[in-house]
């Protein structure tokens, strides 16, 4: 905080706008805001600001501040409608405020009788035991046109540890500043939501490229990469023989195994095609990329065995993963129509790797590698790569020698 900084509500609003335009993150923004409230003589001891988000795992993030630290601590919370968090959520002051359509709740923790209309939640008892004296909760709702997914409000809790706590001027200041704070946090959160969504649906590298502005149709880079294509053994038979409501959980289980192995080895998943996964591995040295892909293949095999044991113990159908690995030049970028694009790889090598994976069933191998992959592999890996013969690949003019991985 700047020395002699003016700390009026108008000045704090200007500060929030400047930080929002500068791209400051939510934790830093909440921390700086709380620090300025304290310097404006608001007797603030702790604050928690909750922001829902769009994320495949988390429902939202909590930014928790206290006087002992300048920046807020970030906590991610899971779904509150069901699961282990549901009961605690239904017993919280926030749930009560939402259900009763309240925007502010005040509780003098040292004198519960001062607000008899408010239930004495367990949270209040805990705060009182920790030396807190006053509590204010605010719900800042968005208009329907401003709602994004489940992000329809900003929730905040403000506590004091002095007697008598907040006075009416302090509360008026909080109420005057909560809308600017909510707007700034919403702006900051949208940047994170955009990054999460493009990485979730396009892949990590492709998502970053799209967000950086690579969105023009036909713009693509020519790259050399290790290409990965995998799918599930007997998937068509499985879909014909198991209950429909088991299909998506099965796909998710095996996708977890494949995608986590690819990511941990440094690869990028570009596309999920039914039961298939298309990915690339890129390094400055193609031998390093080949080594990373082999590590991922070993991890997939190990984790599929463990997954199949768990599924069998639960009485669920199981299968295996067929994998093709290839090395080649591809075009990496935007392909599609004027208003519907895909950021992916295209080129003959992409067709070839899918054909190699399709040969796994005929050759009775879980992993097949092209001769180009073997040539690119680092010397330390080549002793594990064993030829299984030459085969004609569907749609490919010349027969190719294929290899497998000796686990």
In a domain, 271, yes or no: yes
Q: Count of domains in the chain?
A: 2
23: Cα separation from own chain's centroid: 20
Q: Are residues 50 and 76 in the same domain?
A: yes
In three-state secondary structure terms, 289 is helix
Write the CATH number for 40: 3.30.450.40
pLDDT band at 84 (very low <50, low <70, confident <90, very high): low
**Torsion sign over Cα 223, 226, 232, 236:** positive
Domain boundary among 179, 201, 223: 201
pLDDT tens column, 196-253 = 999 999 999 999 999 988 888 988 999 999 999 999 999 999 999 999 999 999 999 9
In a domain, 3, yes or no: no
Q: Are residues 150 and 218 in the same domain?
A: no
Cβ-contact 280, 268 below 8 angstroms: yes
- Domain of residue 208 covers 204-405
Rounded Cα distance, 18 and 184, in Å? 9
Q: Are residues 230 and 116 in the same domain?
A: no
Q: Find residue 155's DSSP bridge partners.
A: 50, 139
Determine the longest span between alpha carbons in the chain, in angstroms. 86
pLDDT tens column, 294-335 = 999 999 999 999 999 999 999 999 999 999 999 999 999 999
In a domain, 129, yes or no: yes
Q: Are residues 186 and 308 in the same domain?
A: no
Q: Which of 128, 132, 104 is nearest to 117 (CA)?
A: 104
**Torsion sign over Cα 280, 282, 285, 289:** negative
């Amino acid at each position: 905080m700047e020395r002699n900084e003016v700390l009026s509500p108008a000045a704090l609003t200007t500060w929030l706008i400047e930080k929002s335009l500068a791209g400051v993150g939510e934790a830093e923004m909440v921390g700086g805001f709380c620090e300025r409230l304290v310097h404006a003589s608001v007797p603030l001891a702790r604050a928690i600001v909750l922001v829902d988000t769009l994320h495949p795992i988390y429902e939202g993030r909590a930014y928790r501040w206290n006087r002992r630290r300048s920046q807020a601590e970030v906590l991610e919370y899971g779904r509150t409608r069901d699961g282990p968090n549901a009961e605690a959520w239904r017993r919280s002051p926030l749930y009560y405020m939402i259900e009763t359509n309240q925007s502010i709740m005040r509780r003098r923790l040292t004198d519960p009788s001062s607000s008899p209309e408010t239930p004495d939640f367990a949270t209040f008892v805990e705060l009182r035991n920790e030396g807190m004296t006053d509590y204010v909760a605010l719900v800042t709702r968005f208009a329907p046109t401003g709602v994004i997914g489940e992000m329809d409000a900003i929730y905040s809790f403000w506590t004091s540890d002095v007697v008598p706590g907040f006075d009416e001027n302090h509360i008026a200041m909080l109420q005057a500043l909560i809308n600017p704070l909510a707007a700034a946090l919403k702006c900051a959160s949208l940047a994170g939501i955009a990054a999460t969504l493009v990485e979730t649906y396009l892949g990590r590298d492709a998502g970053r490229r799209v967000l950086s502005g690579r969105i023009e149709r036909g713009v693509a880079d020519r790259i050399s990469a290790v290409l990965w294509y995998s799918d599930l053994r007997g998937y068509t038979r499985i879909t014909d023989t198991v209950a429909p409501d088991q299909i998506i959980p099965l796909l998710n289980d095996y996708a977890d195994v494949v995608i986590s192995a690819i990511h941990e080895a440094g690869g990028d998943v570009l596309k999920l095609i039914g039961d298939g996964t298309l990915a690339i591995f890129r390094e400055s040295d193609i031998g390093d990329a080949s080594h990373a892909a082999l590590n991922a293949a070993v991890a997939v095999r190990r984790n599929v065995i463990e997954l199949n044991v768990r599924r069998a113990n639960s009485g669920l159908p199981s299968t295996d993963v067929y994998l093709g690995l290839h090395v080649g030049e591809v075009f990496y970028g935007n392909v599609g129509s004027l208003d519907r694009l895909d950021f992916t790889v295209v080129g003959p090598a992409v067709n070839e790797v899918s054909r190699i994976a399709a040969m796994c069933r005929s050759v009775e191998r879980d992993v097949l590698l092209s001769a180009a992959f073997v040539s690119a592999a680092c010397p330390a890996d080549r002793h594990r790569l064993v030829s299984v013969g030459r085969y004609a690949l569907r749609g490919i003019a010349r027969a190719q020698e294929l290899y497998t991985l000796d686990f």
